[in-house]
């Protein structure tokens, strides 16, 4: 459970970097992303899930 909480904390830090350091660029990126086909967004999300899961597994082992 401790590892999971550490991963969640790291995720929050990394997710907060974009809006904190480059708010205008982040806003533009979110606007562009919202115009994409939902299928493309789903594929991006799935790739991120798989890569994140693999990375978490590698760190644990």
pTM confidence score: 0.66
The answer on pLDDT for 1 being more than 80 is: no
Res 19: pLDDT: 94
The pLDDT confidence band at residue 10, using thresholds 50, 70 and 90, is: confident
Count of domains forming the chain: 1
3-state DSSP call for residue 37?
coil
Give residue 10's domain range.
Answer: 2-60
To the nearest 10°, report the CA torsion of 47, 32, 17, 2: -30
Helical spans, DSSP H, in the chain = 2-21, 23-34, 38-60
- What digits encode the pLDDT tens for the residues 37-56? 999 999 999 999 999 888 88
């Amino acid at each position: 459970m401790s590892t999971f909480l550490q991963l969640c904390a790291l995720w929050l830090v990394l997710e907060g970097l974009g809006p904190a350091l480059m708010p205008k660029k982040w806003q533009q990126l979110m606007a562009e992303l919202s115009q994409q086909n939902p299928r493309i967004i789903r594929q991006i999300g799935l790739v991120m899930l798989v890569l994140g899961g693999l990375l978490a597994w590698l760190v644990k082992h």
